[in-house]
Amino acid sequence: MAEKVKSDRLLKLKDVKDRTALGSSSIYRRIAAGTFPRPRQLSPACVRWMESEIDYWITTLPPTGAPEPLP
């Protein structure tokens, strides 16, 4: 029997900003630091983020007041 696969939406920067409450600069700074999902390049002037990757990033954020991990 075929398994149901949840379709994954492609999000624009505006949608990512709305979901995360981060600004454009913060998003791109975190991408450069390797702490935020990278977008997919659809064309030379068009990028989109996978909804599932943004949702996963949000759910893996530490709770407020959690101690910072030691290096």
Degrees, nearest 5: CA angle 30-35-38: 75
Give the HSE-up count for residue 53: Cα atoms under 13 Å, Cβ half-sphere. Answer: 14
Q: Are 16 and 54 in contact (CB under 8 A)?
A: yes
Q: Are 66 and 22 in contact (CB under 8 A)?
A: no
Query: pTM of the entire structure?
Result: 0.79
Tens-level pLDDT at each residue, the chain (71 residues):
555 556 789 999 999 999 999 999 999 999 999 999 999 999 999 999 999 999 999 999 988 875 666 66
